[in-house]
Chains A and B, each alone.
Chain A
Amino acid sequence: MGARDSISVTTLAIYPFLPAAASYIKNLNIGVTEVTTSPVFENIIQKSMADITGAIHGTLSRTQKEDITESEMQLLSYPITRMILSCMDNPHLTQRYAIAESKEASKNLKQEKTEQLKKVAKELNLHSIIEKKQFLYIHFAEYVQTAHSIKERKWKLTNRRLDKGSVTINNKDFIRLLEEQIKKRVLHGMPLDVSDEICTSLESCTEQIKTILSQTQQDIVYDLGKVNQEYFPPCIAYAIKTVQAGINISHSTRFALTSFLVTIGMSVDAIIELFASSPDFDAEKTRYQIEHIAGSGGTTYTPPSCTTMATFGNCIGKNRLCDKISHPLNYYRRKGWLETHKHRS
């Protein structure tokens, strides 16, 4: 395909998830075992590790290098990264990585000309983009296939201009769509079917990442401040974990979580920080929503009961203490009471 040839190696290195990058590697004719066992490739593995830890800490970054060998290293590290993640088989981490990768790509795509964006788009299966005057148009089927997973309202097809099958978008929208496609592309096929042998040879990497993960999780406990996370009911703990993994939660879960945290006295700022790892995070909007639930509009909202939680599929991880209560708040209080009394006796 002509478009593939026209993206250079050095550019591919910052978009290593593109099919063109995969075929470039294929042409290098290097086997998986060679990469994972040869000391020559130590650097590649280091690069993979840096990318994964970067994703965990929100510092993943890709910059274009002039040097071809260095670019090839970057390209090669991508499939290795996917293998390491597959060996770990931690969906939260994979998701987090995919988001970090797509956000970084989006930052780089903003620097590109429309022509180049269109090439990238083709690589990501968006073939219908056309440019007319200052607007871009995309066929609705490609649009919905990409945008349906973006939760914000303005992405709903209902809120778009649709005429004879074409959806009008602007340049910013275009990049956001590419970002979403990239996330999907990175996640596609994950976890890969990696042999035990290879996973064993990658063990030092996976162990290292596990350590890093457990450290950050401790940070999170600390972040919640004076509220005691150990007393959280399973449903709330689960929702928090999901949010922190960067996975979008439904509106009802978000409401349940926020109203719960507000009620037990967590500050609005602390809650905003909690949501900051959501893929569609918008600080202003989040603040507005939380303050709204917290009662700045005059009404305060009580968190939903267990029955309501169950109705919306939010009662997750029910345990024995749950049988004794009918409201997540009671779980929190009761658990707190039990714990303090245990300590006294």
Chain B
Amino acid sequence: MNFRTKQFVRSRFQHYYKTHEIYLPPGFDVREWGFIMFDELPEVRMRRHKAFGSRGELSDYLSGMVPSHAYYSTAYYTYPAARNMKEKRWQGADLIFDLDADHLRKQGADYAEMLENVKEETIKLLDFLTEDFGFRSEHIEVVFSGGRGYHIHVRDQSVLKLESGARREIVDYLTCTGFDYKNVFENDSTWKVRVSEKVIDYFYKLRFSVDKNEALLSLQRFTGVGKTRSSKLMDTLYGFNTRDELETYFRHGGFGFEQHSALNVKQVAENITNLEGIASLRGETDEPVTTDIKRLIRLPLSLHGGSGFTVTPVAIDALESFNPLVDAVTFGSDMTSVTGIKPFEIQMHNNTYTVELGTSVLPECAAIYAMCRGACEYGE
């Protein structure tokens, strides 16, 4: 971003902050705040250890300083503005989940599809949170991050004090990490119920709704299962005439899960846990967001300096129909000329806009997005 582009984007951000209500998280005055400024870009230096005592103060800061990124701490502190963590005195922290498309195995062909995939994951996660964990929806806030995913903030009183190791257990549950595959048909854990049902579904499908050759091929995907083993297993399956019989065999067959002679059933189950767990929470290797109890997180209704999107809170029941490429678009359609640095494409409001090398004219929303992504500079 050159100087002129920075000036332009900053002035558009400023206009936004001057004309929109800001969002205040509960307990805003006992949280730490952090910002990244346009002047310092591309260097990412966070100004942290800030604290605000009133809505007006924060609002003035945003429209006066116009940060390119705005964050607040998930933690509550006695002295949020203290310089180091010890002096701040940690009092608790929201439970946060960061669902980022980068951690998804299913990447999607383009940005739109990727966002759709991560939204599906978010919906799945919300289901776990309300069903298994019993969180009430008024304690859950879902926010489109303005980038590649969603943040879920849980502010149920019972979790605020949890230490990092305890939060890790929650993530492990959601990703089905550390699952005990032994005696999976015994149903003594929620995941066993889930997994064993799917395992039985799988064999049921092989037996009753797939043609035999296809079934054999499906089984042969597993390591150590060749022609002989797969056909032996299919013979066993063809011995059952109803789902009940099949289910009884597995649940009360008197053999351990691992010891099945024809197939290491564990592999089937592993496949299933991979599909059922929340993939996007997996593979966050260093400092996963959830277990980091001192993390800063993007301020809802602020603007994401890397995209120009609004960091948008979404009601749980509106999530299904939420489309960030329409609903999180901040800027309008005034035509704006830009100079392309690299070829670039973005969908917004169901149109596709392209940046070519040289000059192009785009609606402001797409132009700012491309500038924030570093694909073009402002003006000719």
Contacts and interface: CB of A to CB of B under 8 A. Distances in A.
B131 A164 contact: yes
Interface stretch (A12-20, A143-151, A218-226, A289-297): A143-151
B192 to A, nearest CB: 8
Contacts of B178: 153, 156, 158-159
A172 to B, nearest CB: 14
Contact of B180 (A153, A163, A166): A153
A205 to B, nearest CB: 33
Q: Which of B172, B180, B189 has the most CB of A within 10 A?
A: B189
Contacts of B189: 158-161
Nearest to B136: A165
A159 B165 CA distance: 16
A163 B173 CA distance: 12
Interface stretch (B77-85, B156-164, B221-229, B306-314): B156-164
B169 A157 contact: yes
Contacts of B369: none
Interface residues of B, number: 28
A153 B158 CA distance: 24
A32 interface: no
Indicate the size class of the contact surface on chain A. 20 to 34
A148 B133 contact: no
Nearest to B130: A164
Nearest to B193: A161
A2 B5 CA distance: 67
A149 B165 contact: yes
Nearest to B168: A148
Contacts of A153: 178, 180
A144 B132 contact: no
Contacts of B162: 141, 144-145
A139 interface: yes
Nearest to B129: A165
B127 to A, nearest CB: 13
Contact of B134 (A142, A149, A161, A166): A166
Nearest to B156: A141
A149 B162 CA distance: 13
Contacts of B188: 161
B322 interface: no
Contact of A147 (B169, B191, B192): B169
Interface string B187-204: 011111000000000000
A162 B190 contact: yes
A155 to B, nearest CB: 9
A161 B158 CA distance: 19
Contact of B190 (A145, A147, A149, A160): A160
B165 A158 contact: no
B166 interface: yes
Given A157-B172, A161-B188, A161-B190, A145 B134 contact: no
Interface in A227-251: none
A140 B133 contact: yes
A165 B140 CA distance: 14
B180 A159 contact: yes
Interface in B331-346: none
B23 interface: no
B135 interface: yes
B190 A163 contact: yes
Interface in B101-134: 131-134
A154 interface: yes
Interface of A: 139-142, 144-145, 147-149, 153-154, 156-166
6 contacts: A142-B158, A156-B169, A156-B173, A158-B172, A162-B133, A165-B134
Given A158-B172, A163-B131, A164-B132, 9 more contacts: A140-B133, A140-B170, A145-B163, A145-B166, A159-B192, A162-B190, A164-B134, A165-B132, A166-B134
